[in-house]
Structures are given as structure tokens and as C-alpha cells.
């Protein structure tokens, strides 16, 4: 009995003499799989982080500056001859004090005594050379001419005849009529030839005849 008590006392003294961490190490159950411990703990940590982390905020879109409103395109009548690079506004002209068809200083003029585009008869346009009709002498038969009205209507004509006549012998009746009996025509006129200082104009006229395509 004395021997047993002596042994027990020695064992107690041995355990108390060990460091606290040594005692703790001996108390971990040896049969518990460390994976079974760490996986639930990891899942718990992830769940805890998800529960406490702030919800992601949607990206705040900055208001975009409003696009400038397109400038309105001015509505006007236009004549276009692609083959000579001509595109010009045409405006209404009347008669001069000398009873001659007026000519606009810088734009193509539609004589208000001629037909409207899209109606029977001939539309008559004139313009200066040099000026808006400078390239008209290079026009050839078969060229296309289009008239675009301010309301968007487009009328297309094909050049069928071109002639140069002396100013003194010009036939204005023919120049104001559709060519060769066509129902709808478009005739254009400009100055060519030699300038005469006494009369203040050239001695010839170029007349282009086109018919509705």
C-alpha cells in the first residue's frame, strides 16, 4: 500500500512539473480525423464572412451628357448634275426692266414664267458663267440632272441635246419648250463665247435640253 501511494505521488508530481502546452497536447482525442475538424470550420468561416460582408453594390452609371440636337437642314429647291460636280440651290427669278429673263448673281435661277417640275412643259433654269454654271459647257448628252424640291420631291431628267447659238439669233420659244415634243422637259442656259464690253455680255449662249426620265 505504501508502495502504491508512493508511485501515485510521483506520477502526480511528474504531471504537474510538465509545461501547460504538453498537458494540452495529450488531451486531444487521437481518433478524431483532422479533416473532419477543419472542413466544417472552413465552411463556417466562409458562411460567417458571407453573412457579415457588405452586399456588392451595382456600378453607378454616370449620367451621359445629352447629344446636341441636330441642326435642321434648310429646305430649299436644288439642282444636281453629278457628272460635272454641280449641286446648287435654285431660286425664283422674274424679268428685268428690259423684259429679259433675270439671272441670280450666285445661284441658279428658275424663271417663274416656265413650268414647275413635274408638270407639262419645260422647266427653265439659268445661271452665270463664270459662276454657278461654269462647268455647264463640259456637260455631255446622256448626263443625268435631278431637281429636288424643298418638300423632298425629286425629278430626274436626261440630257438629249446641247447647242451653242449666237445671242442675236437665239430662239427663246424653243429654249422655253420641251425638246422634240417631249411632255416634260428641263432646259438650262448660260453665257459662252466672247465678252462684248459694249453690250456687257458674251455673244453666245449655251442651251442644254433634257427630258424627264
What letter does residue 136 receive in the DSSP assignment? G
Domain residue limits at 87: 78-212
Cell numbers linked to 213: 426620265
Cell numbers linked to 153: 420631291
- Measured in residues, the chain has a length of 213
> How far apart are the C-alpha atoms of 60 and 41, rounded to whole Å?
36
Q: In this structure, how many other beta carbons lie within 10 angstroms of the beta carbon of residue 10?
A: 10
More confident residue, 168 or 6: 168
Contacts of 66 (CB under 8 A, 6+ apart): none
Percent of residues, the chain, with pLDDT higher than 90 = 62
Instruction: For residue 15, tell me if it sits in a domain.
Output: no
> How far apart are the C-alpha atoms of 108 and 172, rounded to whole Å?
18
> How far apart are the C-alpha atoms of 110 and 125, rounded to whole Å?
5
| DSSP character string of 133-169 | TTTGGG--TT-EEEEE-TTS-EEEEEEEEEEEEEGGG
Predicted pLDDT at 67: 74
Contacts of 188 (CB under 8 A, 6+ apart): 124, 125, 126, 127, 133, 136, 145, 207, 208, 210
Contact 59, 72 (CB under 8 A): no
Residue 48 has pLDDT above 60, yes or no: no
Residue 14 has pLDDT above 90, yes or no: no
Identify the CATH number of the domain in which residue 197 sits: 2.40.260.10
Predicted pLDDT at 91: 97
Structure confidence by residue, pLDDT tens digits, 54-90 = 555 555 667 677 777 776 656 789 999 999 999 999 9
Residue 202 has pLDDT above 70, yes or no: yes
User: Looking up cell 487521437, which residue turns up?
Assistant: 30
Contacts of 208 (CB under 8 A, 6+ apart): 136, 139, 159, 161, 162, 187, 188, 189
Instruction: For residue 50, tell me if it sits in a domain.
Output: no
Predicted pLDDT at 21: 41
Structure confidence by residue, pLDDT tens digits, 135-161 = 999 999 999 999 999 999 999 999 999
Q: How many domains does the chain have?
A: 1
Instruction: For residue 201, tell me if it sits in a domain.
Output: yes
> How far apart are the C-alpha atoms of 159 and 185, rounded to whole Å?
10
Predicted pLDDT at 156: 98
On whether the pTM is more than 0.85, the answer is no
> How far apart are the C-alpha atoms of 47 and 31, rounded to whole Å?
27
Cell numbers linked to 124: 427653265
Residue 51 has pLDDT above 60, yes or no: no
Average pLDDT over residues 20-49: 42
Amino acid at each position: 500500500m505504501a508502495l502504491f501511494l508512493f508511485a501515485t505521488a510521483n506520477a502526480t508530481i511528474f504531471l504537474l512539473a510538465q509545461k501547460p502546452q504538453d498537458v494540452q497536447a495529450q488531451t486531444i482525442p487521437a481518433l478524431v480525423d483532422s479533416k473532419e475538424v477543419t472542413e466544417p470550420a472552413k465552411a463556417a468561416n466562409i458562411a460567417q464572412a458571407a453573412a457579415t460582408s457588405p452586399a456588392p453594390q451595382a456600378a453607378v452609371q454616370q449620367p451621359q451628357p445629352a447629344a446636341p440636337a441636330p441642326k435642321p437642314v434648310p429646305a430649299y429647291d436644288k439642282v444636281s448634275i453629278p457628272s460635272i460636280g454641280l449641286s446648287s440651290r435654285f431660286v425664283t427669278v422674274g424679268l428685268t426692266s428690259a423684259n429679259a429673263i433675270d439671272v441670280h448673281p450666285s445661284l441658279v435661277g428658275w424663271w417663274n414664267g416656265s413650268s414647275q417640275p413635274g408638270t407639262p412643259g419645260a422647266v427653265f433654269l439659268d445661271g452665270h458663267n463664270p459662276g454657278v454654271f461654269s462647268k455647264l459647257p463640259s456637260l455631255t448628252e446622256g448626263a443625268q440632272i435631278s431637281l429636288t424640291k424643298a418638300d423632298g420631291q425629286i425629278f430626274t431628267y436626261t440630257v438629249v441635246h446641247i447647242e451653242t447659238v449666237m445671242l442675236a439669233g437665239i430662239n427663246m420659244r424653243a429654249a422655253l419648250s420641251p425638246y422634240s415634243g417631249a411632255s416634260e422637259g428641263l432646259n438650262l442656259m448660260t453665257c459662252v463665247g466672247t465678252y462684248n464690253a459694249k453690250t456687257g455680255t458674251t455673244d453666245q449662249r449655251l442651251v442644254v435640253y433634257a427630258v424627264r426620265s
